[in-house]
Amino acid sequence: MVRLLSFLLFLVTWWIAALLIGDVKLPAPPAVLKVMLTEAASGALFVNLGATLARVVLSFTLAMALGAAIGYLMGRVKLADKIGDPWLILLLNLPALVVIVLAYIWAGLTEVAAIAAIAVNKLPTAVVTLREGTRALDRSLDEMATVFAIPRGKAFRHVILPQLGPYIAAAARSGLSLVWKIVLVAEYLGRPNGVGFEIGVAFQLFDIPLLLAYSLTFAAVVLVIETVLVQPFELRAARWRPRAA
Amino acid sequence: MQLEVDITGKHFENAAGERHDVLAGIKFSLHAGEVGVFVGPSGCGKSTMLKILAGLDHNYQGKVSRPAVARLGMVFQEPRLLPWRSVEDNIRLAAPHIDEKRLSELFAVLELTEHRSHFPGELSLGLARRVALARAFAIDPDFLILDEPLASLDDALAAHLREQIATLVESRSMMTLLVTHNLDDAVYLGDRLFLLSARPARILQEVPIPTPRTRRSASEINHIKADLVRRRLAKI
């Protein structure tokens, strides 16, 4: 109910702003909705959204898996931490644009280059978060597992992983928002489809209704995925912790 | 089955590079069916010694020979339960082969039956201690280590839990090592007492208690306690 009111407030603000600024720079909601419907009817909207989502899923999975493994290693092994740390600082502070442009130059305007570039942008935050999580592991529970001769694999699943759960959730959350932002830039610069590409086209033609139609559909998809997938996962990962009042 | 311990020294260096001696001379043996009790001032190095005996710390001088086949059960000073697993799952994780009948028996003895599906965060310290005890006994240990299992419980609860430990210890022939600074626990549960010095710890004296645990009367326990206090004072 509150969410619906919040959405209505957004629509009303937009509409009033459109009336004040004028249709050329900010079209009113019905005009944008009309473009959305024609794009949906032609199928272009779904093709582009699908392409973008596929890139998000692939690069996100790649970065999370790799980042978690590297982060765990750096948290456990001092030497790995010493070797990896300068790379980590470099990658954390390298602008996304640099990575994307270099990837396109080195690997061509290909799908692999785009997905790798997005993954490389997300990787360091996952590494940092998981390294912190690994450092915070409770040694006394490790000792317990050793004393009771719990096999390594089992100990990892039942003793280590639950402690890392909140850190994985945090890395996923911050990583996903980063990927949402960067995927459009990568598409804009070097892919022939996807939401980012369409926004690039709309920018060149100064077609503001088209631009808004794609941006808002994209925002809606992000919102749905966050509420349906990410938030329940976060709750699950932290379910044994005492609830905040 | 027998435990042979001869630790001649253990030290560590702190962040400033200063050397700290923790253990000086710990030599004893322990047979199956025996309960050895270490009594010493707090901070004397008892927990360090237990870590070595449990095989968690290999960095010491001397020798510890523990039968390779001996299954080790341990009750740490803090319960060390997994907060994200229920009481039952905590025990099953350490003792995957335990059958339902044995588990129910253990829960019954330790009065945990109604807490089976609770999570550790929902338990009081006394209850969590009992779960830790249940976990150590669930694996049917050959070697049992109890590190101050009754510390910071109120007297009535500690006395009650002490009886439960006695029942469990009687039920199985194993080498049991108890560390405590409470003379009641020591005299009530032990077969042989080892009095430890202040840091660096060494064994000052070994005091056997010949009367079997079950036949010790209250007056005898008081007598042994008084004797212990006298010995301790004599050492100071």
CA neighbor of B182 nearest in space, from B39, B35, B34, B36? B39
**pLDDT, tens digit (0-9, with 9 covering 90-100), for A91-134:** 999 999 999 999 999 999 999 999 999 999 999 999 999 999 99
What is the DSSP track for B152-187? TS-HHHHHHHHHHHHHHHHTS--EEEEEES-HHHHH
pLDDT at B212: 82
A3 found inside a domain: no
B187 found inside a domain: yes
Burial of A47 (0-12, 13-18, 19+ CB in 10 A): middle
Chain B positions touching A149 (Cβ under 8 A) are 71-72
Nearest neighbour of A148 by CB, restricted to B85, B119, B139:
B139
Backbone angles phi, psi at B11, to 5 degrees: -140, 165
Residue-range definition of the domain harbouring residue A152: 46-237
Number of domains in chain B: 1
A195 found inside a domain: yes
CATH of the domain at B229: 3.40.50.300
A162 found inside a domain: yes
B144 found inside a domain: no
Degrees, nearest 5: CA angle A49-A179-A199: 45
B138 found inside a domain: no
Is the pLDDT at B235 greater than 70? The verdict is no
Is the pLDDT at A87 greater than 70? The verdict is yes
pLDDT at A101: 95
CATH of the domain at A157: 1.10.3720.10
CA distance B8 to A245: 54
pLDDT class for B171, splitting at 50, 70, 90? confident
A26 found inside a domain: no
Chain B positions touching A146 (Cβ under 8 A) are 55-56
Q: Which of A12-21, A61-70, B58-67 has the lowest mean pLDDT?
A: B58-67
Query: What was the ipTM of the complex prediction?
Result: 0.86
Residue with tokens 């050397």: B19
CA distance A207 to A209: 6
Is the pLDDT at B234 greater than 70? The verdict is no
B50 found inside a domain: yes
Residues A14-42 have a mean pLDDT of 91
B31 found inside a domain: yes
B122 found inside a domain: no
What is the DSSP track for A223-238? HHHIIIIIHHHHHHHT
Chain A residue with CA closest to B135: the answer is: A148
pLDDT at B236: 52
Nearest neighbour of A144 by CB, restricted to B80, B83, B139:
B80
pLDDT at A242: 61
Contact B94 A148 (CB under 8 A): yes
Residue-range definition of the domain harbouring residue B223: 1-71+174-236
Number of domains in chain A: 1
Chain A residue with CA closest to B74: the answer is: A147
